[in-house]
Amino acid sequence: MSDNFWRKFSYWVGLLPLGAIFGLVYYLAHIEIKDLDLWLHIGVGRFITLHGIIPLHDILSCSIVGTPWVNHEWLFQVIVYNIFQAWGPEGMIQMQVVMVTLTMFLLLVLGYNKDKQSMLIFVLYLVGMVYSQRFTIRPDIYSLFFLTFYIFILSFHIDKRWVPLVLLISQVLWTNIHGFFFFGPLFVLIGLIAEWLRRHALLPYEWATSGRLVNEEYHRLKFTFVLVVAACFINPHTWEGAWYPLRVFFSLAGENKIFFQHIQELQRPLALDNIFANNEFTYYKLLILISLVTFVLNRRRLDISALLFWLVFLIFSLKAARNIAFFALAAYLVIMTNLLTISPKDVIPFRFTKKRFMHLTSAVMKLLFLIWLLQDVQGMTLNGYYDFDKYERKSEFGGISQRNYPNKALDFLVAHRIRGNFFNDFNSGAYLIGRAFPDIKVFIDGRTEVYGAQFFEQYLKLWDEGDAPLLESIIQKYNITGALLNSIRSPIPAKTLQYFYTHKDWVVVYFDYDAVVLLRRVPENQTYIDRFAIDLTLWQPRVLDLRKIGSSPVSPFPNYFRAFTLESLGLDEPALAEAKEAVKIAPGYGKIYDLMGKIYAKRKNYEEAFVHFRIATLESPQDKKVRHNFALCYFDLKDYKGAIKQYQKIIETWPTDPQAYFLLAKTYASEKRYDKTLEILSKAHRLQPDDVNDILGVGDVIFEQGNWAIAQQAYALALDTKKDQGLVYKKIGLAYKAMGDKVKALEEFRRSIEINPQDEEIKKELGIKND
C-alpha cells in the first residue's frame, strides 16, 4: 500500500478521537447543577422579568440594603431565569451544552490542521479538561464563547467590511452578560499593539513580518476597537457599568485580598509547593509547558500578537483558579499557531525510514488514545451517589445536586412561606435568594464587590468564630428573625451553632443533614415555633430499609452530617444513635468511626475510643484529621511510644504540618525525653512562628514534672511569637521562682505586670495591693 493510503488512513483514524473528545465534553457539560451563584442569578432574573426594571441598588439583603450595585450580569440572569421557568433544570443544563459545544467547535475550526492532527487531538483534549472545570452554568461560559468568537472573526474575516458591525453587536451583548466583557476590547487592543510593534519597533528574526496586516486591515482593526469600546457603555449604568469590572480588578489588592484567602475559586492555581503535584491543575500546567515549548521552537517566526495574547492570559490565570479556562483557550490558539511553522523534524527526536511507518505509528497512537479516552468516559458514567429518599442511585450528570445546597431546608421554608431577615453563611446566600427571595432577605451572599472587605471580615468573626457580642449586635441592628445554618458543604462552626441553640430567644424548627433552621421568638414567628419547634435532645434517627438499599455501594453522608451537628451541640446520645445507623448502612465509612471515637474520648472511655479511631484510620489512612485523633488517643491512654510512632507517621506524610510537631514535642515531654522535646518544639515553632499556646502547653507539661529549667527554655521560645507576652513572662517568672532564682523571677514578673496590670497573681507575687 502506498504512503498516500497510510496518510489518509491515519487522518480518518484521527477523526475518531476528535469525535470522542467532543462526545466527552458534551457529556461533561451535562454535569448536575451545583454552582452556588447560579441561584442568585435566577432570583434576580425573576425580579427583573416580573418587574421590568434592573435594580441599581441592593434589594436582596437585610444588611446592605440600598448599597449601590452595578449588576453587569443582568441579561444572563434574565436568560437563565426564563429558561428555568420554561424547561426547568434540564433546560439550563442544555443551555450550557449549547454554549460549550459552540465554543469547542470554533476552537476546532481555528486550530484545525490536517498535517498536525495528532497534536491538535492532544491539545484540544487538554483544553476540554480545563474548560470542564467551569461547567457551572455561570456567565463565564458566555465570556469564553464571545472571546473565541472574537478570535474567529478577527483571524478569518478581518478583511471583511461587516466585521466592525458584528463585533459591535457581540460586544453589547457581552457587556450585559458578564463582567469579563473587557476582554473584547483588550483582545483588539493586543492586535493593535502587536501591529504597531511590527511596523515601528526593532524586532528580532522574522517577528516584524509574521502575522503582519495590510493597511486596510490595520485601519479596520482601529475602527473596530473604537466601536467595541463604545459598545461597553451600552448598559444600564453607562460609564459606571463600563468601568466597573476594571475598577473591581484593580481594587483586588489591599484589604480585598481577604477574598482570595477564603474563597476557593479566587485562590492561586499554582504555588511553590504544588508546581509538580498531580492535582486538578495538571492539565493547566501541561498547557503552560507545551505552549512555552512551541514559542521556543518557533522563536524565529514568532507572531508577536500571539505572544502578547498568551502573556496576558497567563498572568490573568495565575491570579485566580477561576481564570484558568481562559488561559486554556489562549494556550490552544498559540500552540496551533506556532505549529504552523514548526516542522515535525524539530519535535520528533527519531526518523522513520519510510513515511508509511510514520503514518502507521500515528494511527496506532490515535487508536490507543481513543481507547484510553473511552475507558475514561466509562469511569465517569459511574460517578454518582445514593438518593436515600428515592432508594436509588443519582448520577452526577443531570438534575440538581443533593450534596451542594440545603435543598430540604429551603423546601421547608418555601412550603410554609416563612419570611424575615435571615442570618446565613456565605455559601447559602445565593441559594436562599434563588429559592426564597423576596420573602427572605439574606445577611450575605456571593457579591463580594458589593459587600466589601470590611463586611466580609465581620462575617468571618460571626460565622467562623461565633463572636457572641457581635452576633447580638447584628441581630438587633438588622432585625434578624431567622437563621439558616448550612451543614451540607462543611460543618457548622461549633461556637456559632452553640450560640443560636443555647440562646433563649432562638428555637430550632428544622433539622436534617443539610442545615439547621432556627427562628427568633418574635410575634411574626410564634405560629411557626408552636407548630415546628424541635427538641433535639429527643432526636431519633431515621431508620432506612436496608433491603431496599441492598448491596448498593452507598455513603451514609446524611447520617454523618446529622451526627456531626448533634455532637457539636453536645448531644452525644442522639449523635451516637445517628452514627450507629450510618454503620449499619455502610460499615466501611471511616468518618463515622472517627466521630464515634471523638464522643467516647470525651467520655474518657479511651479504650472504646481507640477501637473506633483505629477503624477510622484503617478506612481513611490519608485523612490527616483522623490520623491526629488516632495518635491523640494513644497519648490519652498514656501509651507514649505508640503516640510518638503515630505522630512520626503523620510527619512523614505531611512534613509541614506544625500541629504534628507540637503534639510530638508534648508527647516527648510526657516521656521526659527533654532533648527531643526542645528539638521538635523548635521545628514546630519554625513552621508556625505565631503559635504561642502550643509552646506554652508543652512548657506546662515539663513544669508540672518539676523540671523547671527545661520548662523555662520552652517558655522562652514563646517570646519569639510576639503574642500574649504578659502571660509568657509570667510563666518564665514562675519557672525561675520554682528554681529559687528570686531576682530573675521578679524581673519577669515586672515585665508581665507592665503588659497585664490587672493580673492578680502577679500583683501578689510583687506585693502590689489593690486600691
Summarize pLDDT for 191-226 with one digit per residue, the tens: 999 999 999 999 999 999 998 999 999 999 999 999
pLDDT band at 97; cut points 50, 70, 90: very high
Is residue 352 predicted with pLDDT exceeding 60?
no
Average pLDDT over residues 664-690: 94
User: For residues 767 and 771, what is the distance between their CA atoms, to the nearest angstrom?
Assistant: 13
Residues 130 and 283 sit within 8 Å (Cβ to Cβ): yes
Q: Note the pLDDT tens digit of each residue in 714-748.
A: 999 999 988 899 999 999 999 999 998 888 988 98
User: For residues 474 and 192, what is the distance between their CA atoms, to the nearest angstrom?
Assistant: 52
Is residue 349 predicted with pLDDT exceeding 70?
no
Residues 720 and 696 sit within 8 Å (Cβ to Cβ): no
Is residue 769 predicted with pLDDT exceeding 60?
no
Average pLDDT, the chain: 92
User: For residues 348 and 334, what is the distance between their CA atoms, to the nearest angstrom?
Assistant: 20
Let me know how many helices (H) and strands (E) the chain has, helices first: 34, 7
Q: What is the distance of C-alpha 602 from the center of its chain? A: 33
Q: Is 404 exposed, middle or buried (0-12, 13-18, 19+ CB in 10 A)?
A: middle
Burial 463-476 (b: 16+ CB within 10 A, else e): beebbeeebeebbe
Is residue 475 predicted with pLDDT exceeding 80?
yes
Q: Note the pLDDT tens digit of each residue in 156-178.
A: 999 899 999 999 999 999 999 99
Q: Tell me, what's the pLDDT at 648?
A: 96
Q: Note the pLDDT tens digit of each residue in 5-46.
A: 777 888 888 899 999 999 999 999 999 999 999 999 999 999
User: For residues 265 and 616, what is the distance between their CA atoms, to the nearest angstrom?
Assistant: 30
Is residue 378 predicted with pLDDT exceeding 60?
yes
Q: Note the pLDDT tens digit of each residue in 558-615.
A: 999 999 999 999 999 999 999 999 999 999 899 999 999 999 999 999 999 999 999 9
Average pLDDT over residues 134-145: 95
Q: Note the pLDDT tens digit of each residue in 490-546.
A: 999 999 999 999 999 999 999 999 999 999 999 999 999 999 999 999 999 999 999
Is residue 771 predicted with pLDDT exceeding 50?
no
* Amino acid in position 472: E
> Higher model confidence: residue 357 or residue 627?
627
Is residue 251 predicted with pLDDT exceeding 70?
no
β-strands 420-424, 480-486 pairing: parallel
| Selection from 210, 16, 14, 1 nearest residue 114 by Cα | 14
DSSP code at position 71:
-
Q: φ and ψ at 326, to 5 degrees?
A: -70, -35
**Residue 520's beta-bridge partner residues?**
506
| Selection from 607, 647, 644, 608 nearest residue 627 by Cα | 647
pLDDT band at 354; cut points 50, 70, 90: low
Residue written as cell 431496599? 548
> Higher model confidence: residue 406 or residue 364?
406
Whole-prediction pTM value? 0.89
Average pLDDT over residues 102-117: 91
Q: Tell me, what's the pLDDT at 363?
A: 84
User: For residues 135 and 370, what is the distance between their CA atoms, to the nearest angstrom?
Assistant: 23
